[in-house]
Amino acid sequence: MPLIMNMRNSLFAVLVAVLMVGGCTSLGQVKIKKPEPLTPEILASEKTGWWSARFRINWPPDTKASWQVDLLLAHQVILPVLERHKSEIALWRVHRRAVRDSSGHRFSFIFYAPQSAAYTIFQELMNDSLLSQLKYSGLVIEDSYDDPAVVSKPDIEDTSDTHWSVIVQKNWPYYVMGASQMWLNMIVHVAGELSDGNEFYSIAEIEAFYQEVNTRLIEIWQTEGRHAYLHHLNALFGYKPLIYYDRRYLSF
């Protein structure tokens, strides 16, 4: 995708400049963790399960969450991984949250795949040059990954809300993958329209660009979401009303 290449080429120039000015000592602050290779025993009988890569985003007190960083990570870091490993990933989704607690603002990439695929994907993410730049700039303050040697969530329903019925737990991952795919495709589409072939030469410029993308996506959600999303989801269930948060029956 031209936008990804333009941004990554531009960021490569930034990275080179940082190395020339600060040397290895500055970049040494960015810790890149490498997972331990899977043992032959694990590879011989590897299992499939759910895996999470989590990115904690800087959210200083008395400021609004930088939701645009989620979009940047999804488009420039997660999408290339999805494209490279689409044959190995059976299900996937993103999760976004920003709450004033110990986790704070966190963006997660969650996927269902064999252990070997999880190991490779995590290794690629940990060594991603753009992610390293985002960490160096202070936008991303922590990244953490499941241990691919331990399959703690082997079943389709294992990342669903346990308060739901079993039938919803088992099928919800397919629904949310479709929603995540549409959201990511919309980011790609809007970013392509707004970029107009421009290149970006700093993290600040790229963050500002994804703020524009985020603003446009919010506009689409607020003006078209009721019909495009909620109405047609309601139609799948024969337009029957449901109990919403305020405990009133609503149709969309």
Looking at per-residue pLDDT, the higher value among 215 and 251 belongs to 215
Token reading at 38: 């899977």
Residue 107 domain boundaries: 2-37+45-194
Give yes or no for a contact between 188 and 1, defined as CB atoms under 8 angstroms apart.
yes
Q: Look at residues 40, 65, 70 and name the one whose alpha carbon lies nearest to residue 54.
A: 70
C-alpha–C-alpha distance, residues 189 and 75, integer Å: 11
Question: Confidence band (pLDDT; 50, 70, 90) for 250?
Answer: low
Residue 122 lies in a domain: yes
Starting at the edge strand found earlier in the chain, the sheet holding 48-57 runs 91-98, 105-114, 48-57, 140-145
The dihedral through the CA atoms of 164, 166, 167, 173 has a sign that is positive
Does residue 203 form part of some domain?
Answer: no
18 found inside a domain = yes
Alpha carbon distance 239, 219 (integer Å): 26
Confidence of residue 7 (pLDDT cuts 50, 70, 90): low
Over residues 89-141, the pLDDT tens digits come to 999 999 999 999 999 999 999 999 999 999 999 999 999 999 999 999 999 99
pLDDT band at 248 (very low <50, low <70, confident <90, very high): confident
Which tens digits make up the pLDDT trace of 24-70?
A: 333 434 455 567 889 988 888 999 999 999 999 999 999 999 999 99
pLDDT tens by residue, 78-91: 999 999 999 999 99
Between 99-103, 116-120, 190-194, 197-201, the lowest mean confidence (pLDDT) is in 197-201
Banded model confidence at residue 225, pLDDT cuts 50, 70, 90 = very high
Strands 105-114 and 140-145: unpaired
Four-residue CA torsion sign, 74, 77, 83, 84: negative
pLDDT above 70 (res 251): no
Answer whether residue 144 is part of any domain.
yes
State the total domains in the chain.
Answer: 1
- What are the beta bridge partners of residue 114? 48
CATH code, domain with 74: 3.30.70.1150
- Three-class secondary structure of residue 161 per DSSP: coil
**Residue 23 predicted with pLDDT over 60:** no
For residue 9, what pLDDT is reported? 56
11 assigned to some structural domain: yes
| Structural domain contains residue 9 | yes
Q: Is residue 219 part of a domain?
A: no
Could you identify the residue written with the tokens 């290449």? 5
pLDDT for 19 equals 38
Say if residues 112 and 49 touch (Cβ distance below 8 Å).
yes
Render 210-244 in DSSP notation, one character per residue: HHHHHHHHHHHHHHHHIIIIIIHHHHHTTT--EE-
Task: Report how far residue 109's alpha carbon sits from residue 96's, in angstroms, rounded to the nearest whole number.
Answer: 9
Mean pLDDT value across the chain: 88
With tokens 């070997």, the residue in question is 116
Output the pLDDT for position 201. 85
**24: exposed, middle or buried (C-beta count within 10 Å: 0-12, 13-18, 19+)?**
exposed
